[in-house]
Amino acid sequence: MEVNEVFEKVKSLFIEDLGIDESKISMESKLEEDLEIDSLGIVEVVMAFEDEFDIEIDDEELADVKTVGEAVKLLHSKI
């Protein structure tokens, strides 16, 4: 799967499942500040990623993920 495809999947998941405004979502958007995904929300995001891409994500792998782009990069590396 290309990086761009991963991004499109992440984007639609944020819109459909989490109800985030489409206009806010870019590779640069910060999960907490821009998308208002707080510490509880991150757990939801991980669950959604795991279901969507059929992978497992450890809590430690998420420590450095602050933006949509970083999340996409992590997902791309695991698929």
The residues that touch another protein, with contacts defined as CB under 8 A, are: 18-21, 36, 40-41, 43-44, 47
Residues 6+ apart with CB under 8 A from 25: 11, 14, 15, 35, 68
Measured in Å, how far apart are the chain's first and last C-alpha atoms?
8
For the record, the structure tokens of 18 come out as: 């989490």
Q: Which residues belong to the active site?
A: 38
Q: State the nearest-atom distance from the C-beta of 70 to another protein, in Å.
A: 20
Q: State the nearest-atom distance from the C-beta of 24 to another protein, in Å.
A: 10
Please, which residue, 18 or 73, has the CB nearer to another protein? Answer: 18
Q: State the nearest-atom distance from the C-beta of 29 to another protein, in Å.
A: 14
Q: List the beta bridge partners of residue 67.
A: 30
CA 11 to CA 63: how far, in whole Å? 21
Please, which residue, 5 or 61, has the CB nearer to another protein? Answer: 61
